Structure 1
Amino acid sequence: MNKDQQNIIEEQSQENLSEVLQVRRDKLAKLQEMGRDPFHQSRYDRTSNSMEIKNNFETTEGTVVKIAGRIMSKRIQGKAGFIDLQDQEGRIQCYVRLDAIGEEEYSIFSTYDIGDIIGIEGTVFKTKREEISVKASNVILLSKSLQVLPEKYHGLKDPDLRYRQRYVDLIVNPEVKEAFLIRTKALKALRSYLDERGFLEVETPILNTIAGGANAKPFITHHNTLDIPMYLRIANELYLKRLIVGGFDKVYEMGRMFRNEGMSIKHNPEYTAIELYQAYADYTDMMNITENVVAHMAKEATGSMKINYQGIEIDFTPPWKRMTMEECVKEYTGVDFSTIDTDEEALAIAKEKGIELTPGMRRGEVINAFFEEFGEDKLIQPTFITHHPVEVSPLAKRNVEDPRKTDRFEAFANRWELANAFSELNDPIDQKGRFMDQLRKKELGDDEACDMDEDFLNALEVGLPPTGGLGIGIDRVMMLLTNSASIRDVLLFPTMKPIETNQNKIEE
């Protein structure tokens, strides 16, 4: 088939679709002329849903129910017809007869289209084929669908269109809805786990005057009244630690974070994360919380601490494996950084191993680069990587035995970072030095480096008790729990580039 033939077929398909859409509008106009405008219906009193009827057939058989939902299939056979009605809980067959609802109503019912939303009152029964159904005594159109749903067997398969029209995706692909039900169960389990252990859920600002708390590119906006730039938060860490200073011992916040960076199967510009902080605790306490809460989420949402992700079994059962970053690098490269003390030695071995060097790179940053290049992709089963270099951990407390390292960990599974935690740096003098180092990196061209936060330094001077902090990337955990290949599959409305249409083009 050449391009011209393909264009002709596409034009004909578009013409046919336009005709179908016009027919639906004509049906709506006729109903409105009859005084039967479906959009005038403001409510419908349901007594049951599809799952309740099916699961409790022994008690519902013969009873009158009122259900509502969307027509997903329709089979008219003379004076009787069958439809499949879909509600939030599933589908149920409905049997509509002319002699049961009257000739006029049956004539109108016969014009209803797949996708229309209707209410049905009727009696629960079982057909000769043993299918639990509802025999209608009254049918009412509650909303007219003016678009055409994807047909039954091919469905909505194009990923781009599925993400753009999630409302259609949820209608025609039931497994999509199941993924989001699992997400809801997991989030409830996460909150209940923390609530039961005395953590207080709080809310902190999303609009910030400083992009702090992490190394990332922010989204920048402008406040007109104050005439200052403002930033969508890249993390809520610094505000939550202020609350620990203020006397709250255990706090957490779950919500959207925003990073103006690349998009991939693991990255979306806005995503959900949880951060929690506990006074008088350290990074080992955060390790215990991490492995136990993720295992709890898996068990409550899927029924097991073991999940199958894209053909690989991942076992979240505690305890998880623990390795220092230097141990991991040594295991997978043979390079032992405990014997490499200077920046010059580290840079030389990095060059030898093909590590990309950046201006001002130091020993700790080289170790981190080695880990990201050679170690991260080996971590399939849940693993804690601990004791990150100070140079890449601006908010973590130094390790007492080796001040070049920090009391920090990252949790990995399926090669992905799922969580980041540390014993919080509460020395205001050291913290100011770390901020100064971040400003040096920014001057060298690192646009992800942290800004100086003077008010946070003031809070540390007031006094932050020994504190453990933890952040978990919720969406990546959900990808694993729902066996989803892309982060877009666990976000109801992922970020998409707008489609250019005649309506949004600006005339020259």
Structure 2
Amino acid sequence: MAVRQSLEKVEEWRKIVNSLREAGVEPYPHSFRITHSVRALNELRRQALLEPWVGLVIRTAGRVTDIRRHPNVVFIDLYEDGARFQVMADPRHSLLDYIWRGDYIGVEGVIVKTQRGDYAVRASSLVLLAKAVQPLPEWGKVDRDSPFYMRYRSVAMVLDLQLRWRIAARAKFIQALREAMWKRGFIEIPTPVLQPIYGGAAARPFTTKIWAIDEEWYLRISPELYLKRYIIAGFPKVFEVGPQFRNEDIDALHNPEFWSLEAYQAYADYNDMMKLTEEVVYEAVSAVLGTGVVKYRDQTINFSPPWRRITLHDALREYGGVDPDRLTDDQIKEKLRELQVPVKVYNRGIALVKLFEKLVEKKLVEPTFVLDYPEESTPLCKPHREKRGLVERFEAFVGGHEVANAYTELNDPVRQYEYFVREEELFPKEEAHPLDWDFVEELSFGMPPTGGVGIGIDRLAMVITNAESIKDVIPYPIVKRA
């Protein structure tokens, strides 16, 4: 049925294209030279700088988003790069019989001032540049919950200026993060996307087959273990911005493909990573919005450093109403049952983290570092230098969402091996970090004291653009095919 429907559609498109060519109109010419973009003209109008341009001949091009026909004039709205500008055409122009909403056209004409005091290009010639054989839906009329909105994402970005702005803001945020890191002496350096052993996080990977060597490999879930190899190699400050892949949830806060910034610094610890995180995020937010203060839902969030610091135990006491130092294991288990938090294998440290996630996370609206996690929470972190049973780890929270994770990195190869083994004993296979023996061996050649941090780009972009879901900031989120 799907093949038949597609063939019927293609045949409809063929008729449209052939009819244009029979009428002497080429629907897909090779190029069109412009002198002024729609965005440039719109910006000049916005700044009230177009008056001296009246009478000037220009060439511009864009997508037709609206056509308004009157007896003596036809108004055409051209859209390009998030901006619009008006074109005035003679109703007798032959091309007007062949264009509709969604087509790309080129225009040559003079800048004029309309009777209403606005500006337009009065067209002396019109050229069809690309025929939209499927007319564009009505401008601004889009249902964000519809399958159409998710399936035809490029069209959604045309119709929904807010979506387009969010996508562009995310891109600028990534650029600003990169600039903030380079400014501090970090170099961006690549790590493999395909890896023989996935690691750096507890997550289910995507699996693939490398046919040339007949081996099962994985899409990376984190660049951590390879970035640490660069530290071993003598690069003192490294980072990477790019996609990670986790074969897990799809919801308002999760997408199987997501972007992060991950960074490692020799001779540093998690205190240095806190300072780095709050500074570069603040600088990037300010670069995008012109301010470090944002509106998110019904809250005002100030990204200005320093961010609040609180231990996980204190956060449980202050926000969760439980004292982890006084709770017995039986009381913790009962609390988890009460909160309907499933636990496959009970471990006190992990159970406390789950209580924190359920009772505290959503209450951390202002940027907050939560410090000093139970040692069972990760096999890649150094034990706390003062607090037995804890590790020097923090997570950062903004708007009730976790947006960063950092460690004073473990650089003892014996402990690293033991922690990997402990993980495999404590957790089911799909929840444990696999033993990466190659990494342990490389660690045995010596890695200096190191601080590392991973920053979630999509969730931060969601907060700073006041989006309901990360689907609103990811250009092409994963959705179930019809």
1:156, distance to aligned residue in structure 2 (A): 4.6
Q: 1: CA distance between counterparts of 2:78 and 2:321?
A: 62
1:27, distance to aligned residue in structure 2 (A): 4.8
Uncovered stretches (5+) of structure 2, i.e. residues with no partner? 1-7
Uncovered stretches (5+) of structure 1, i.e. residues with no partner? 1-17, 500-508
1:446, distance to aligned residue in structure 2 (A): 4.6
Match for residue 409 of structure 2 among 413, 419, 424? 424
Q: 1: CA distance between counterparts of 2:73 and 2:318?
A: 72
1:53, distance to aligned residue in structure 2 (A): 2.1
Task: Please state if 1:455 is matched with 2:438.
Answer: yes
Match for residue 73 of structure 1 among 55, 66, 78? 66
Q: Which amino acid aligns with 2:107?
A: I
Q: Which amino acid aligns with 2:450?
A: T
Match for residue 313 of structure 1 among 300, 305, 317? 300
- Structure 1 match to 2:418: 433
Q: 2: CA distance between counterparts of 1:280 and 1:59?
A: 59
Q: Which amino acid aligns with 1:291?
A: E
- Structure 1 match to 2:23: 34
Deviations 1:367-397 (A, max 9, x none): 2122122222221111110000110121011
Q: Which amino acid aligns with 2:333?
A: K
Please, what TM-score do these two structures have when normalized by structure 1? 0.88
1:332, distance to aligned residue in structure 2 (A): 3.2
The answer to whether the 8 A contact 1:240-1:277 is kept is yes
- Structure 1 match to 2:31: 43
The answer to whether the 8 A contact 1:156-1:172 is kept is no
- Structure 2 match to 1:197: 184
- Structure 2 match to 1:187: 174
Q: 2: CA distance between counterparts of 1:237 and 1:339?
A: 35
Q: Which amino acid aligns with 2:223?
A: N
Say which one has the larger Rg: 1
The structure-2 alpha-carbon separation of the partners of 1:323 and 1:63, relative to structure 1 and needing over 3 Å to count, comes to same
1:130, distance to aligned residue in structure 2 (A): 0.8
Task: Please state if 1:395 is matched with 2:380.
Answer: yes
- Structure 2 match to 1:348: 330
The structure-2 alpha-carbon separation of the partners of 1:25 and 1:132, relative to structure 1 and needing over 3 Å to count, comes to farther
Q: Which amino acid aligns with 2:458?
A: D
Match for residue 85 of structure 2 among 69, 79, 92? 92
- Structure 2 match to 1:303: 290
The answer to whether the 8 A contact 1:53-1:60 is kept is no
Q: 2: CA distance between counterparts of 1:89 and 1:262?
A: 32
Q: Which amino acid aligns with 2:31?
A: R
Q: 2: CA distance between counterparts of 1:71 and 1:360?
A: 59
Deviates more, 1:415-424 or 1:289-298: 289-298
Deviates more, 1:244-253 or 1:352-361: 352-361
The structure-2 alpha-carbon separation of the partners of 1:173 and 1:437, relative to structure 1 and needing over 3 Å to count, comes to same
Residues 69-468 of structure 1 aligned to structure 2 (within 5 Å): 69-97=62-90, 106-152=93-139, 154-338=141-325, 345=328, 347-355=329-337, 356=341, 358=343, 360-442=345-427, 445-468=428-451
- Structure 2 match to 1:7: none
Q: 2: CA distance between counterparts of 1:34 and 1:128?
A: 35
Deviates more, 1:237-246 or 1:432-441: 432-441
Please, what TM-score do these two structures have when normalized by structure 2? 0.92
Q: 2: CA distance between counterparts of 1:495 and 1:245?
A: 36
Deviates more, 1:277-286 or 1:70-79: 70-79
Q: 1: CA distance between counterparts of 2:406 and 2:218?
A: 24
Task: Please state if 1:479 is matched with 2:462.
Answer: yes
| Percent identity between the two aligned chains | 39
The answer to whether the 8 A contact 2:62-2:106 is kept is yes
Q: Which amino acid aligns with 2:73?
A: A
Alpha-carbon RMSD: 2.0
Q: 2: CA distance between counterparts of 1:154 and 1:330?
A: 48
Q: 1: CA distance between counterparts of 2:140 and 2:238?
A: 49
Deviations 1:317-360 (A, max 9, x none): 111111111111122344433456xxxx3x21212324456354
Q: 2: CA distance between counterparts of 1:89 and 1:48?
A: 15
Q: 2: CA distance between counterparts of 1:26 and 1:371?
A: 62
1:79, distance to aligned residue in structure 2 (A): 5.0
